[in-house]
Amino acid sequence: MRILLVDDSKTMRSIQKSVLAQIGHTEIEEACDGQDALSKVGAFQPELMLVDWNMPNMDGITFVKHIRQTDKTTPIIMVTTESEKTRVIEAIKAGVNNYVVKPFTPDALSQRINETLNKKAA
Amino acid sequence: MPTSDENAVHVRISADRLQAIVEVEPGTAREFVTDEVILAIALSQSIQQSSELNRLIARAVKAYDPDSTEPFEAVIAEGTPPEMGRHGEFNLEPDLQQIYEQIQARESEEGEPEEPENDQTEPQDHHERTMLMIVKPGQQLGTITPPTDGVDGVDVSGKTIASKPGKPPIEEFDPESIEHRDDHTVVARIGGQLLIQQGKIRINPTLEIKGTVDFSTGNIHFPGNIEIREGVRDCFVVESGESITVVGLVEAATLKAGKDIVLKRGMAARDKGLAEAGRDLNAHYLDNVSGNAGRNLLIEKELTNSSITVGEKTIAPSATIVGGELICAGACEVGQIGTEAGAHTVIALGRIDSVESLIKEALELIPTLNERAAKATEQLEQVKSSSSVLSAKQAEIVTELQYKAMEAQAKIKPLKRALTLANTVITERAEPRLVVQSMLCQGAEIRACGRRATVTTTIKGPVCIALTDSGEFQLTDLNTNSVLAMDQFATIDDDPTAFDRRTLDAELKIAA
């Protein structure tokens, strides 16, 4: 499964990458902000996206809105420090399928990923 | 003077009946050389009538010159020769063909093989220039071009001239070892030496070298058994997936066998030779050899200045071990160890170095990982306690530290499982027991389970050295079955080369 990781922190991307590897996903592309991600989506055709909220150039919520204009189905998990209820509602309205608040444990992230993929498969 | 004889015009048919030629004597009058006359003569000789016959006759008549003094000839009919069928052919793959040609060239030469001259522009190892056609199962050996039927011809009378079909290839393939497939490829059913003798082609799963392994054979890498009637020269390599038997002397060569190595005469390796057997290493003598036996070491006469690791037992009741180091996991029975002159000879008992080195590495790694996990946890607590609400940056740091702690702990678990397994292997397989039939000489060093006995006074055999339950040496006189005090004959101390079993025990207790 092709998975796109969008986060301006290389460390976060590498943690997410190894969590994904532990649950058997190795076909992964990385982007450092929303703009970079938009430029990679066409060629990579991700089947799941993990997106941070606060990033330079283009933030995660703007990226999600752009994507949802043309792609309504690819699951998106927002992985962010934004934990307020209003923010979560805003993200869901923009088209996010699941939400992980930082700090997260590897187990919590892999659980959310599995949840999201199972929901899509159903 | 022109002749008026009608008989001056003839039609001759060639011996192969593929041409009819009109012949006219010189000076024959033109009225006797007409289309009708020649056609009539041709038909009288059963030449098949056709428009082509008419055309060629007309051309001949036109070309005829009654004033010429030379006899006139012209072809007026042609048949079609038959095309004979091509014989079938077997063509070896180019790499095998190259070796086959070298073998044939070598067989036509005589004398001692010499090292080939080095091409200065392209350095290469001539030891690797094999002179044997060694194939693997499933390897394509070559292709067969099948024979063709040929095409019939027709003579000037219109009769068929039969063609001959080509013959199949002369080569005969051994069906047990070689498969001839429908697509005309020829493939090895088994691995071994490809032999081509008088048109018969087969694969011998055993490689027999009638002479010596040298530049006439090159290095040998063979999947099956290898039998060498003479010896193996310096610097050559013999590798077998099964067993190697050498009747003659092995010099400073490299021998590697998946199963056994049997050296009927012995190996004089001058510190450069290597003998590695997956199962038994069996030799009359070994001198200056490095090597290992996955199962047993069997020595008839002498093991000198060699460094050998043995997976199970050493069986050498009549042999003398002088100099070097013998590391043996299982029981060890030898004739004599060392010399009265005090040659330093080391016998390490109950040791499985491959497993022990892994244990050593694991034992070093576990504290490092523990430390890493503890450090990450400590930092985690510090960040969490510094403020009740985490900033975005702190949240990311916490995520990272949680991940580091979890990763380190996750790595410790399989290491501890591996340690338990390694301990089981050592406990089950290690048998630190040494029987010396004749003499255990001063200067010899016996190591077992972390203890070392350096013999200071020569002990006469037969004696047995084993370890007590508390891990101390016990010396038994096998003639009287009486237990002797080991420290009367040897200095006893800790073996600095062995890993500390107490550390392993402690780790295993934690793991449990």
Distance from CA of B361 to the nearest CA of A (A): 25
> What span, in angstroms and rounded, lies between the C-alpha atoms of B284 and B301?
6
Whether the pLDDT of residue B501 is over 90: the answer is no
Task: Work out the minimum CA distance from A71 to partner chain B, whole angstroms.
Answer: 29
Measured in residues, chain B has a length of 512
What pLDDT does residue B363 have?
A: 82
Does A45 fall in a domain?
yes
Q: Is pLDDT at A8 greater than 70 in this prediction?
A: yes
Is a pLDDT exceeding 80 seen at residue B511? no
Q: Per the domain annotation, does A54 fall within a domain?
A: yes
pLDDT above 70 covers what percent of chain B?
A: 92
Q: What is the CATH number of the domain that holds A32?
A: 3.40.50.2300
Q: Does A117 map to a domain? A: no
Say if strands B345-349 and B444-448 run parallel, antiparallel, or are unpaired: parallel
Q: A1-37 b/e with 16+ CB inside 10 Å = b? A: eebbbbbbbeebbebbbebbeeeebeebbbbbbbbbb
A48-71 residue pLDDT tens: 999 999 999 999 999 999 999 998
* pLDDT of B385 above 60: yes
Which phi and psi (to 5°) does residue A27 adopt?
A: -90, 85
CA atoms within 13 A on the CB side of B269: 26
Say whether pLDDT at B2 is over 50. Answer: no
Is A102 within 8 Å of chain B by CB? yes
If we measure between CA atoms, which residue out of A56, A67, A58 comes closest to residue A97? A67
Single out the residue of B229, B253, B266, B251 nearest to residue B239, CA to CA: B253
* pLDDT tier, B383 (very low <50, low <70, confident <90, very high otherwise): confident
Q: Is B395 on the interface with A (CB under 8 A)?
A: yes
- B349 with B447: CB under 8 angstroms? yes
Q: Which of residues 16-35 of A touch B (CB under 8 A)?
A: 18
Task: Label residue B114 by pLDDT band (50, 70, 90).
Answer: low
What pLDDT sits at residue B4? 52
- Per-residue pLDDT at B449: 81
Q: Give which of A78, A73, A1 is closest to A37, Cα–Cα.
A: A78
Contact B399/A at CB under 8 A: yes
3-state SS class at B265: coil
Residue B404 pLDDT exceeds 80: yes
pLDDT of residue B6: 63
In a domain, A116, yes or no: no
Give the integer Cα–Cα distance in Å for B495 and B312. 21
Query: Would you call B413 an interface residue with chain A, using a CB distance cutoff of 8 Å?
Result: no
Q: For residue B185, what are the β-bridge partners? A: B143
**What amino acid is encoded at B114 in this protein?**
E
The answer to whether position A99 is within a domain reads yes
Q: Which of A74-83, B87-96, B410-419 has the lowest mean pLDDT?
A: B410-419
| pLDDT at B206 (0 to 100) | 92
Nearest to B74 by CA among B46, B44, B33: B33
What is the per-residue pLDDT across A66-77, written as a single tens digit (0 to 9) for each?
999 998 899 999
User: What b/e sequence results for B72-99 when a residue is b if at least 16 CB atoms lie within 10 Å of its CB, and e otherwise?
Assistant: bebebbbbeebeebeebbbebbeebeeb
> Nearest CB to B399: which of A54, A104, A107?
A104
* Predicted confidence (pLDDT) per residue in B26-72, tens digit: 988 888 899 999 999 999 989 998 999 999 999 999 999 988 899 99
Nearest to B230 by CA among B253, B214, B206, B254: B214
| Alpha helix ranges (H) inside B23-93 | 35-44, 51-63
Q: In chain B, whose CA is at the least distance from the CA of A8?
A: B396
Q: In sequence order, what DSSP letters do the residues of B429-482 get, joined into one string?
A: H----EEEEEEE-TTEEEEETTEEEEE-S-EESSEEEEE-TTS-EEEEETTTTE
pLDDT number for residue B1: 44
Q: Which of B379, B383, B397, B399 to mutate to test the interface with A (most CBs of A within 10 A)?
A: B399
Q: Name the DSSP letter for residue B271.
A: E
Complex-level ipTM: 0.87
Residue A81 lies in a domain: yes
Number of domains in chain A: 1
Question: pLDDT at position B123, please?
Answer: 57
Query: Is A112 within the bounds of a domain?
Result: no
Beta-carbon separation of A103 and B407 below 8 A: no
pLDDT tens for B469-478 read: 888 899 999 9
pLDDT at residue B277, rounded to an integer: 97
Residue B337 pLDDT exceeds 60: yes
- Asked if residue A17 belongs to a domain, the reply is yes
For the segment B434-438, the average pLDDT, to the nearest whole number, is: 97
Nearest CA-CA distance, residue A115 and chain B, Å: 20
Cα–Cα distances (Å) from B166 to A6, B92, B163, in that order, read: 71, 20, 10
Residue B399 to residue A15, Cβ atoms within 8 A:
yes
Q: How much is the mean pLDDT over chain A?
A: 93
With 90 as the cut, is the pLDDT of residue A82 above it?
no
**Cβ–Cβ below 8 Å for B406 and A106:** yes
* Cβ-proximal residues to B102 (8 Å cutoff; 6+ apart), any chain: B131
Q: Which helix (H) or strand (E) holds A112?
A: helix A106-121
Q: Is the dihedral of CA B404, B410, B411, B416 positive or negative?
A: positive
Domain that holds residue A65: 2-106
Q: Which pair of tokens denotes residue B385?
A: 């306690």
CA distance B171 to B190: 19
Instruction: Specify the pLDDT at position B507.
Output: 64
